[in-house]
């Protein structure tokens, strides 16, 4: 059985197998090619040599190639449309082969193509790597990467986000008022006139034009009533400022979360129920609380809701003092405040509360000194990365 293999003279020369003639017959072909005919076993022998020869040539050429252009030229020479390997495949007269020979040579050709592609890709990568190296001798590609510091949310932000979620789950809106506030909303509208001694309870940072840094988030109460009317359920988390001397439990900048419910027939029972529900969700455990009467000009009656200290279990420590943390002052909204908000106190009543958000975060995360929270030391925040 004879096999016919069309191959160009040129191509045979490029393969440098002039001696291949020992195994094959070259027959001039009508389209200027030689028809290479060989007997079965000879043909196989010749084919093996051709493929091996091409592999060797490719490897040699790639070894010598030191630039991207040189490797690209080799790719075109071997795998391009007129490249040696492509030509070898194109000019193989598969039609005249036995099924067995077709299969075997087809496999050989595929192997050859894969071999060429892999070697060329490797050579490209090597040239590229050495280029990078040449450009910057200081660059050590084997050096380990630089670790990036992970950011984290501030513990107060975490506590605030959680509180917002819990209140939203109970149908409260979350609203944010201005930190630079008018004296009116901060004091007068809340039943704290100029000459009222209650003003002394909150040492204030005064700005120009009767503006102040708000001393409490309660300043949002009347703003909100005027804007949205009743009925309403809302909380107002945010930053407050007081001219305080700083110690482990006092800061001049701290966070509160004011809350407000105005509707028909709102009583102290509603207030207690909401406070209990919120705190049990915040601390995810049973907490002990106590209610004491408290005086705030904008609520009547007014209370202090204290939380049994979670740090010392109520024994007393530097954070709480006597085992109780003053956490939520609250009360029924004073009729005068409702009036300032344009609400008729005969028709509506409501309660208000002021959660000490900074204190809450300290309790929640076991932070013993309030000064850590504003010190700007990233090592504080980094301890909370896993909570985000
Ligand atoms: N605004 C008060 C403060 O910062 C806290 C407060 C007390 C808020 C009683 C309230 C309340 O809503 O009912 O000291």
Three-state SS annotation for 364-386: HHCCCCCHHHHCCCHHHHHCCHH
The ligand 1 site (C-beta within 6 Å) comprises 216, 218, 258, 296, 299, 302, 329-331, 352-354
pLDDT exceeds cutoff 90 at 115: yes
pLDDT exceeds cutoff 90 at 169: yes
pLDDT of 6: 40
Instruction: Give distance in angstroms: CA of 299 to centre of ligand 1.
Output: 8
pLDDT exceeds cutoff 80 at 359: yes
pLDDT of 91: 78
In angstroms, the CA 23 to CA 29 distance is 18
Instruction: Give distance in angstroms: CA of 264 to centre of ligand 1.
Output: 22
> Is 3.40.50.1100 the CATH classification of the domain at 155-387?
no
Instruction: Give distance in angstroms: CA of 367 to centre of ligand 1.
Output: 23
Ligand 1, atom 14: closest residue by C-alpha: 216
Model confidence at 46, pLDDT cuts 50, 70, 90, reads low
pLDDT of 387: 62
> Ligand 1 pocket: which of 293, 298, 305 to mutate (most atoms <8 Å of CB)?
298
In angstroms, the CA 42 to CA 337 distance is 109
pLDDT of 283: 84
Model confidence at 52, pLDDT cuts 50, 70, 90, reads confident
Model confidence at 12, pLDDT cuts 50, 70, 90, reads very low
Q: Where are the domains of the chain?
A: 2-135, 155-387
pLDDT digits (tens, 9 = 90+) for 59-90: 999 998 888 899 999 999 999 998 888 888 88
> Ligand 1 pocket: which of 259, 297, 327, 354 to mutate (most atoms <8 Å of CB)?
354
Instruction: Give distance in angstroms: CA of 232 to centre of ligand 1.
Output: 18
Residue 321 falls in which region: left (phi positive, over 0), alpha (psi -120 to 50) or beta: left
Give the count of alpha carbons within 13 A of 181, CB side only.
Answer: 28
Instruction: Give distance in angstroms: CA of 351 to centre of ligand 1.
Output: 11
Model confidence at 344, pLDDT cuts 50, 70, 90, reads very high
Write the CB contacts of 13 (distance below 8 Å, at least 6 apart in sequence): none
In angstroms, the CA 223 to CA 200 distance is 23
pLDDT of 220: 97
pLDDT of 4: 37
pTM, full prediction: 0.62
Angle between helices 155-169 and 357-365 (to 10 degrees): 110
In angstroms, the CA 316 to CA 325 distance is 10
pLDDT digits (tens, 9 = 90+) for 270-311: 998 899 889 889 888 878 888 899 999 999 999 999 888 877
329 and 323 Cβ atoms separated by less than 8 Å = no
The per-type count for the chain, helices as H runs and strands as E runs, is: 13, 12
pLDDT of 133: 60
What integer is the mean pLDDT of 134-161? 82
Return mean pLDDT, the chain.
Answer: 83
Before 272, cis peptide (omega within 30)? no
**For the chain, how far is it from start to end, CA to CA, in angstroms?**
76
pLDDT exceeds cutoff 70 at 315: yes
């Amino acid at each position: 059985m004879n096999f016919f293999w069309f191959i160009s003279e040129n191509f045979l020369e490029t393969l440098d197998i002039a001696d291949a003639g020992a195994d094959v017959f070259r027959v001039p072909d009508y389209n200027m090619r030689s028809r290479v005919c060989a007997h079965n076993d000879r043909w196989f022998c010749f084919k093996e040599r051709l493929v091996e020869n091409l592999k060797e040539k490719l490897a040699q050429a790639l070894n010598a190639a030191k630039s991207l252009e040189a490797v690209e030229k080799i790719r075109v020479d071997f795998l391009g449309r007129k490249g040696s390997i492509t030509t070898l495949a194109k000019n193989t007269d598969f039609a005249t082969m036995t099924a067995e020979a077709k299969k075997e040579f087809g496999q050989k050709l595929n192997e050859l193509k894969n071999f060429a592609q892999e070697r060329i890709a490797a050579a490209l990568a090597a040239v590229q790597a050495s280029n990078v190296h040449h450009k910057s001798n200081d660059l050590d590609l084997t050096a380990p990467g630089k670790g990036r510091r992970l950011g984290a949310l501030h513990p107060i932000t975490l506590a605030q986000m959680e509180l917002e979620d819990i209140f939203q789950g109970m149908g409260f809106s979350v609203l944010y008022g201005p930190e630079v506030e008018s004296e009116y909303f901060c004091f007068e509208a809340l039943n704290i006139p100029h000459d009222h001694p209650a003003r002394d309870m909150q040492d204030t940072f005064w700005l120009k034009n009767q503006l102040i840094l708000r001393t409490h988030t309660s300043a949002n109460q009347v703003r909100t009533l005027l804007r949205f009317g009743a009925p309403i359920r809302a909380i107002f988390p945010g930053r407050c400022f007081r001219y305080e001397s700083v110690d482990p439990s006092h800061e001049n900048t701290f966070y509160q979360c004011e809350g407000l419910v105005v509707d028909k027939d709102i009583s102290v029972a509603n207030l207690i129920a909401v406070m209990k529900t919120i705190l049990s969700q915040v601390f995810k455990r049973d907490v002990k609380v106590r209610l004491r009467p408290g005086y705030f000009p904008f609520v009547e009656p007014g209370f202090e809701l204290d939380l049994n200290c979670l740090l010392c279990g109520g024994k007393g420590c530097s954070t709480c003092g006597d085992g109780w943390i003053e956490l939520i002052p609250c009360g029924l909204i004073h009729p005068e405040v409702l009036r300032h908000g344009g609400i008729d106190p005969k028709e509506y009543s409501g309660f208000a509360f002021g959660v000490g958000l900074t204190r809450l975060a300290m309790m929640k995360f076991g932070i013993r000194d309030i000064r850590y929270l504003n010190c700007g030391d990233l090592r504080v925040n980094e301890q909370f990365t896993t909570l985000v």
